């Protein structure tokens, strides 16, 4: 898959992203970029508004990378830097993006 192939996800009302094997965001859709209100691409979870939950996010990414199995989290509560919390349903899978092994994820808020 190529980054250009992901453009359709910019029109979707949920969060979508791709991270490399080191956990660096390679791509995010417009919905996630707008929600975070910071530049995400090129950063890792511990550098973003959800840094308090970065340990869990990295562990989930590593599980997907190691096992190759899809991962589903239902009602995962994210704690944001501004004190806000958001409850999400999350799915992560292992794919390639521009020739790199990556975790892809989609999630949507269930408490909005």
For residue range 23-73, what is the model confidence (pLDDT) as tens digits?
999 999 998 998 878 899 999 999 998 888 899 999 999 999 999 999 998
DSSP state of 45: G
Report the distance separating Cα 7 and Cα 4, nearest Å. 6
- Picking from 60, 77, 78, the residue whose alpha carbon sits closest to that of residue 69 is 60
Instruction: Strands of the chain (E only): list them.
Output: 15-20, 25-28, 71-79, 85-97, 100-109
For residue range 1-21, what is the model confidence (pLDDT) as tens digits?
788 888 888 888 999 999 999
Question: Can you list the domains of the chain with their CATH numbers?
Answer: 10-109 (3.30.450.20)
Bigger pLDDT: 49 vs 79: 49
The pLDDT value recorded for residue 55 is 93
Q: Kindly report the pTM of this predicted structure.
A: 0.89
pLDDT at residue 112 tops 80: no
């Amino acid at each position: 898959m190529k980054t250009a192939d992901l453009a359709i996800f910019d029109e979707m009302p949920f969060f979508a992203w791709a991270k490399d094997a080191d956990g660096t965001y390679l791509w995010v859709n417009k919905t996630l970029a707008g929600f975070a209100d910071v530049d995400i691409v090129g950063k890792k979870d511990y550098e973003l508004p959800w840094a308090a939950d970065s340990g869990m996010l990295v562990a989930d990414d590593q599980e997907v990378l190691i096992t190759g199995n899809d991962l589903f989290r239902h009602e995962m509560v994210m704690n944001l830097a501004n004190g806000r919390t958001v409850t999400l349903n999350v799915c992560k899978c292992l794919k390639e993006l521009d020739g790199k092994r990556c975790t892809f994820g989609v999630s949507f808020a269930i408490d909005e």
